[in-house]
Amino acid sequence: MSMAHLTIDDLKSQARRLREAMSAAGTPLTHSAALELVAKSHGARDWNTLSTLAARTDNVPAPPATVGAVVTGEYLGQRFRAKVLAMRKLSNSDYHAITLHFDEPVDIVTFDSFSAFRQRVSGTIDGRGVSPQRTSNGRPHIVLDA
CA-CA distance, 71 to 96, in Å (whole number)?
15
Q: What is the DSSP string of 37-79?
A: HHHHHTT-SSHHHHHHHHH-SS--PPPSS-TT-EEEEEETTEE
Asked if 53 and 108 sit in the same domain, the reply is: no
> Residue 32's closest CA among 40, 143, 60, 112?
40
Q: Does residue 31 sit within a domain?
A: yes
Decide if 125 is inside a domain: yes
In a domain, 63, yes or no: no
Contact 104, 36 (CB under 8 A): no
Same domain, 24 and 75: no
Both 15 and 76 in one domain: the answer is no
CB 119, CB 81: distance < 8 Å: no
Mean pLDDT by 10 residues, the chain (146 residues): 67 92 93 91 86 72 84 94 94 89 92 91 93 92 92
Q: Identify the domain containing residue 33 by its residue range.
A: 8-57
Based on the domain organization, do 84 and 131 belong to the same domain? yes
pLDDT for residue 63: 78
134 found inside a domain: yes
Residue in 132, 135, 116 with CA at minimum distance from that of residue 124? 132
Is residue 98 in a domain? yes
Helix (H) or strand (E) holding 31: helix 31-41
Give residue 5's pLDDT.
Answer: 60
